[in-house]
Structure 1
Amino acid sequence: MIEVKVPELAESITEGTIVRWLVDVGNQVNQGDDIAEIETDKVNVQISAEQAGVLKKKEKDVDDTVEVGEVIALLDDNAESDVAAAPADPAPPAAKPEKPAAATPVPPAAEPAAHVPGRQQIASPAARRLAREKGVDLNTVHTADPLGRIRANDVARQPEAAPAPAPAAKPLFIDQQDPGKPVERIKMTRRRQTIASRLVAAQHEAAMLTTFNEVDLTAIMAIRKRRKEAFIKEHDVKLGFMSFFTKAVVGALKSFPLLNAEISGTDLIVKKYYDIGIAVATDQGLVVPVVRDADRLNFAEIEQSIKDLAVKARTNKLTFSDLKGGTFTITNGGTFGSLLSTPIINAPQVGILGMHGIKKRPIAVETPEGDKIEIRPMMYIALSYDHRIVDGSEAVRFLVIVKKLLEDPETLLLES
């Protein structure tokens, strides 16, 4: 027997939760095939087979917690799959003239082959596919084949299985505070538990404050409108807002490097590189994949990186390397309609920029003819920072630089 064990996951991650099995008992597994999916504190990981064999036993069930090195399944490298395809139906031999035999005994007519419950049945791929579609148990199918092979026409003669009963409704619990009100108890996923504990820890461990400003996005929206088609044609990716904000953040971090640092005991670790985390909402919770060396990327490369990471996040394809590190984070609540919020620091980072919804508002605009009121696309931005490292004046000036760079985006283009 071959033991399938939970592999080394990542530094500081020693366990996970099985969220689903990708192979059923009796299935053939090839070397490298994914067998199960495990949810860790950060990402979902597929456990693959290091050797080929037939899955004989699942040692763990869905929702079980498993540790690195623990056996979750057994493979038999000498067994045959219960769902192995039978050889293709042989073509009937061509008729040949034969001399009539004298007094040749006539064999008795073949009777349907009997099937033994629990015994592996040999069936053609077409027969197995039809059986799945009709919900027919191959053990109940009779065939006239003398070797007991089941063909598609044998399955076709079987009546369709009765529809499966509807799943039972989720049990309702009684609210302890108000016994007359029904409630539903839902277990939090491992990732949601981790997110909850980290957010609480960040608020308890950091001296977190937030400062706000607003940005006039007229110039950026004009560039996007003017360059939209050409940008997509040349780079095969849309010119969004995130590349502008990423570039603006990098520019501001260069002026205020303590916002690109972290605390280590009594020391400050000031990072001389710019790995910008981009918060992405998924069905399993918020994740923050990282755009590496954002200062060295042009607008198209940033947009492509963010697009690729977002797709991986929403399809559970992120790896630990996608999430590792990060020196500063940007989160965009505006995609969900947020007008203003206070983002929480993504520890051990000391700063996070919150973007919000774009709203048209009347703004006083200074012109050569005097001040006048114009309708402009405005966005509130928020910087949450750790006051243990960053002073209030630095945080305010950081946000002012972000504002100026966004309102004069040609500066960003020239610096790229």
Structure 2
Amino acid sequence: MSVVELRMPKMGESISEATIINWLKNVGDTIEEEETILEVATDKVDSEVPSPCNGVIKEILFQPNDVVPVGEVLAIIEASGELPKKREQTEAPIAKPSAAGNTKTATAGKSSFELRNSPNPDAFLSPLVISIAQKEGLSIEEVQSIQGTGTDGRIRKSDLFNYLKHRKYPLPSRPQPQVTTPASSYNPPPISFTEGKDRIVEMDRMRAMIADHMVYSKHTSPHVTCYIEADVTTIVNWRNKVKADFQEKYGEKLTFTPIFVEAVSKAIADFPMINVSVDGKKIVVHSDINVGMATALPNGNLIVPVVKNADKKNMEELAGEVNHLANSSRNNALKPDEIQGSTFTISNVGTFGSLMGTPIINQPEVAILALGIIKKRAEVISTEKGDEIAIRSMMYLSLSFDHRVVDGYLGGSFLRKVGDYLEEFDENRQI
């Protein structure tokens, strides 16, 4: 029989690891191709990992709650029948860690390592391999030149150690800076707890990850928030007029969210430097406009599904995608790709009755827009007859931005442009 390695699958760009939730099969169990073997979770989405072939599970290498890098071997399967072409392994024995922590690969008639003629920029490099390379002072190009012995030529830890052992002209290891962390003089205040009266609730996995993400964002980006208010009376009247016909014609509910997404995507096109990420001293300007929409889950946690290429979609398409993402969020049915790749996020805090908010940036983006509740109130407006008092539907908008790369002029101008698109909405727009 042949041996197949079940690996942690890639579940979307920027996802480098996932947590094992539960194994549905045990060592010795017979499995069928595409049968679910285990459940894993990223910071937002739970996913199932299917078997790549028919066979028997011979070894399980990680346990529930272990965090495993993408591409790492999860289990060893003794396959039966015909194997998928790319997943078939040789009959060589499975590599076992040596006492020194390296891995020896049994390959007859070959040297312990080989180099490619030129670097392979598409070579998969696990976080562990990258970490080792950085400590040893290896460039990415040098690592990519190593011929990997893993599945599809993947460079394994053992390949890297073998290369370092036999390298004729080793580069000196990069000196590690000595960082002295000053002792903190701040001691958190004690938390009073009354036994039998107060209770302790453990954070679930998603809430703990959200907490870490929020602290990281505040630590990384110097937040500045600016505010405007917009008169959205025209939008409210237009939606009330067409929402029944819209649902009858397209089979989709018309909420305010797709209207907001449309206005934001137009403003981003006018101010593309708000649609960026920071990579050290470099600014990555995204060509796609992917708008994340912060969505509350029934358990109180938050998730951010993404409307991809929002600037290229009409109102019908935006409404359909917004409804799909919102429903999938509530039913825990989002796919990993549906929460990846956002370049700008909106948060409709008005849904909960909030007048306005000071949102925290969704890293690695540089800005986030909060939309407050739409309230009717008396406003002074200019008419042909002069100033008059009228009942208008008003809404506050607040933009938090990363002051490292977004200054007040850009942030304020972008926010004002979003407000202009909302206020200048065509009341005679056809559906």
Structure 1, 340-349 or 38-47: larger mean CA deviation: 38-47
Distance 2:28 2:197 in 1: 42
* Preserved CA contact (<8 Å) 2:277 2:365: yes
Q: What is the match of residue 351 of structure 2?
A: 335
For the residues of structure 2 that align with 1:198 and 1:393, how far apart are their CA atoms? 27
The residue identity in structure 2 corresponding to 1:327 is: T
| Identity in percent | 34
Shift of the alpha carbon at 1:413? 5.7
What amino acid maps onto 2:246 in structure 1? F
Q: TM-score, normalised by structure 2?
A: 0.64
Q: 1:183 is paired with a residue of what secondary structure? A: coil
Query: Is 2:260 the counterpart of 1:235?
Result: no
Pairing 1:2-401 to 2, within 5 Å after superposition? 5=6, 7-10=8-11, 11-18=14-21, 30-52=32-54, 64-68=65-69, 69=72, 71=74, 177-180=192-195, 182-282=197-297, 283=299, 285-401=301-417
- Distance, in Å, in 2 between the alignment partners of 1:402 and 1:306 is 19
Work out the CA distance in 2 between the residues paired with 1:3 and 1:186.
42
Task: Compute the RMSD of aligned alpha carbons.
Answer: 3.3
Q: CA 1:48–1:287 in structure 2 vs 1: closer, same or farther (change >3 Å)?
A: same
For residue 396 of structure 1, report the CA deviation from its aligned partner.
1.8
Superposed displacement of residue 6, structure 1: 5.3
The one-letter amino acid paired with 2:376 is: K
Q: Distance in 1 between matches of 2:224 and 2:428?
A: 28
Looking at structure 1, the residues matched to 377 and 286 of structure 2 have their Cα atoms a distance apart, in angstroms, of 38
Task: Report deviation, 1:210.
Answer: 0.5
Q: Aligned-pair distance for 1:197?
A: 1.4
Q: Deviations over 1:352-397 (max 9, x none)?
A: 1111212222211222223222222221111111112122122222
Contact 1:248–1:405 (8 Å) recurs in 2: yes
**Gap change, CA 1:75 and 1:350, over 3 Å in 2:** same
Distance 2:288 2:4 in 1: 43
Match of 1:141 in 2: none
Unaligned ranges ≥5, structure 2: 82-189
The one-letter code matched in structure 2 to 1:383 is L
Q: 1:394 to 1:57 in 2, by over 3 A?
A: closer
Q: Deviations over 1:274-306 (max 9, x none)?
A: 111111222372222211111110011011111
Give the 3 Å change call, closer, same or farther, for CA 382–67 of structure 1 in structure 2.
same
State whether residues 277 and 288 of structure 1, in contact with CA within 8 Å, keep that contact through their aligned partners in structure 2: yes
Instruction: Quote how far apart the aligned CAs of 1:7 are.
Output: 2.3
CA–CA separation in structure 2 for the residues paired with 1:217 and 1:384: 21
Cα 1:54–1:185 change in 2 (3 A) is farther
* CA distance in 1: counterparts of 2:306 and 2:316, whole angstroms: 16
Distance (Å, rounded) in 1 between the aligned partners of 2:280 and 2:27: 51
| Unaligned segments of structure 1, at least 5 residues | 79-174
Q: Secondary structure at the match of 1:379?
A: strand
C-alpha separation between the residues in 1 aligned to 2:280 and 2:265?
26
Contact 2:15 2:42 in 1 (8 A): no
Deviations, residues 27-75 of structure 1 (Å, cap 9, x unaligned) = 98543233432222231111223345789999877x5325254547989
Worse-superposed segment, 311-320 or 50-59: 50-59
For the Cα contact (< 8 Å) 1:405–1:411, is it kept in 2?
no
TM-aligned CA deviation for residue 244 of structure 1:
1.5
Change (3 A) 1:204 1:60: closer
Gap change, CA 1:383 and 1:33, over 3 Å in 2: same
Q: Are the equivalent residues in 1 in contact too, given 2:53–2:79 (CA < 8 A)?
A: no
> Which deviations, in whole Å up to 9, do the C-alpha atoms of 1:130-150 show, x marking residues without a partner?
xxxxxxxxxxxxxxxxxxxxx
Q: Distance in 2 between matches of 1:401 and 1:40?
A: 35
One-letter code aligned to 2:243: K
SS of residue in 2 equivalent to 1:339: coil
Distance 1:358 1:26, change over 3 A: farther
How many pairs does the alignment contain?
317
Superposed displacement of residue 224, structure 1:
1.0
Give 1:411 shift.
9.0
Distance 1:52 1:183 in 2: 52
Task: List per-residue Cα deviations over 1:244-276 (Å, max 9, x = no partner).
Answer: 111211222222221111222222222233111
Cα gap change, 1:3 to 1:65, in 2 (>3 Å): farther
